[in-house]
Amino acid sequence: MTSVLTAEGAQVRPALMSRWLVVAALGVAAAYARVIWFTPPEATQGLAQKIYYLHLPAALNAYIAFGVVAVTSVVYLWLRDPRADRVAESSAEVGLLFTTVVLATGPIWAKPIWGAWWTWDARLTLTLFLWFIYAGYLVLRGAIIEPEMRARYSAVLGILGALLIPFIHMSVYLFRTLHPMPIVLKPDRPSLPSEMLQTLLFSFAAFFLLYLALLRERYRLGEERALLAEREGHAHGGD
């Protein structure tokens, strides 16, 4: 945890970890305690199904995160408010993290259930491409130094990326339906028994809290970085 000193020498961020993050971490831990000890195992998949309570909430929150990127990108181009850009940046990063969780937990579940770590199922492919789009977004951000230009460029990419998602969605579904594969495909979504549904909702809420907490942390980090860059700029300017 880095902390930045203000001109008066006071720390901007005295806390090691924000209260939000602590609450969110406890929430996720509680959700998992519920998943492991208080939710019955699924009849056919057994323990492997437990990963579902981590996988699906992470996926849903990644979608939310990327939705936030698109909205704040539009807001930035409209109002030119650097705060909108900072939210977009933070949300993209947290979204990419959640997508990574989805892509990591998926194969762990798929190996015992489908018999393969990876298949080119529509949903898997779409998630992988989401990862590529927002990884590109963050690389673009890293490749531009000037903050105003970085904000404009990434807002353009953030909006175009959101426009691209439906097209990838359509093509991967069409690709699959026209080429049915002779391997086990993802079964239709089962209608969950209420205990499982409650656990899922609990887990989703915990992950949403985690998303907000990480977003907030990342946003503050962005603020500090901007402050630091400004100060270094002044230093180089020789004032």
Stretch that binds another protein, among 30-38, 90-98, 168-176, 206-214 (CB under 8 A): 168-176
Task: Please count the other Cβ atoms lying within 10 Å of the Cβ belonging to residue 71.
Answer: 17
With binding defined as CB under 8 A, does residue 132 bind another protein?
Answer: yes
Candidate residues 32, 63, 118, 153; the one interacting with another protein per rule CB under 8 A: 153
- How many angstroms from the chain centroid is the CA of residue 16? 23
Q: CA 152, 154, 157, 158: dihedral to nearest 10 degrees?
A: -110
Candidate residues 159, 201, 212, 226; the one interacting with another protein per rule CB under 8 A: 159
With binding defined as CB under 8 A, does residue 155 bind another protein?
Answer: yes
Q: Which is nearer to another protein, 21 or 151 (CB)?
A: 151
Candidate residues 19, 167, 194, 236; the one interacting with another protein per rule CB under 8 A: 167
With binding defined as CB under 8 A, does residue 149 bind another protein?
Answer: yes
| Phi, psi for 80 (deg, rounded to 5) | 55, 40
With binding defined as CB under 8 A, does residue 170 bind another protein?
Answer: yes
- Residue 66 beta carbon to another protein: minimum distance, rounded to whole angstroms: 13
Bridge partners of 42, per DSSP, are 46
Q: Per-residue string for binding with another protein, 76-95, x by CB under 8 A?
A: -x------------------
With binding defined as CB under 8 A, does residue 145 bind another protein?
Answer: yes
One-letter identity of residue 11: Q
- Residue 161 beta carbon to another protein: minimum distance, rounded to whole angstroms: 8
Candidate residues 143, 237, 238, 239; the one interacting with another protein per rule CB under 8 A: 143
Which residue ranges make up the site for another protein (CB under 8 A)?
77, 129, 132-133, 136, 139-140, 143-145, 149, 152-153, 155-157, 159-160, 163-164, 167-168, 170-172, 174-175, 178
